[in-house]
Amino acid sequence: SERSFVMIKPDGVSRQIVGKIISRFEERGYKLVAVKSVTPSKELAKEHYVDLAQRPFYPGLVDYITSGTPVVALVWEGKDVIRQGRRMVGATNPLQSDPGSIRGTYAVSVGRNIIHASDSFESATKEIGLWFNDKEMSSYQPTAWPWIFSDN
Ligand code: GTP
Ligand code: MG
């Protein structure tokens, strides 16, 4: 099954909702493959969002991610976790985020929207490689998995 990179941004850490956000993915049935607290360098934040380098908000976005407050970097695994993770996170601008989504629960500003999730298989692969090395990734079978994932 596939893997997605999720990052709880500095506002999520500072607001002390890390556990609540992790719980949403655990409760859905996804497997936590990797987790760490990181205070990102400018270089790491710029590379993570390099596709947005030409956008007017890019410098502010890099400053936000490198505020000095840590982020929590996560890798989740399970059926459709890339697309499902994006749905759980909600629309980029909290004004459009479904009220049941993570952003729709905790955020009101696009520039303080709590969480990142990979938007495609290609970006998940790139982001997991950027934030983690292979030794940080665990391999185990959650006991509930046979009751969460079926073949159809
Ligand atoms: P990520 O999961 O963080 O990648 O967000 P996204 O995929 O929903 O949106 P996108 O990749 O287009 O933008 C990345 C991040 O840049 C957003 O999550 C916001 O934090 C920020 N951002 C995007 N658009 C704007 C904007 O118009 N203004 C500001 N201030 N920030 C923005
Ligand atoms: Mg994005």
Is 152 within a domain?
no
Determine the distance separating the centroid of ligand 1 and the alpha carbon of 2, expressed in angstroms: 23
Q: What pTM was computed for the model?
A: 0.97
Is 37 within a domain?
yes
- Structure token pair of residue 51: 């596709």
Q: Ligand 1 pocket, 111 CB below 6 A?
A: yes
CATH value at residue 129 = 3.30.70.141
Q: Look up the ipTM and state it.
A: 0.98
Ligand nearest to the CA of 55: 1
Q: Ligand 1 pocket, 117 CB below 6 A?
A: yes
Range of the domain at 13: 3-140
**Is the distance from CB of 64 to CB of 52 less than 8 angstroms?**
no
**For 4-26, what is each residue's pLDDT tens digit?**
999 999 999 999 999 999 999 99
Indicate the number of domains in the chain: 1
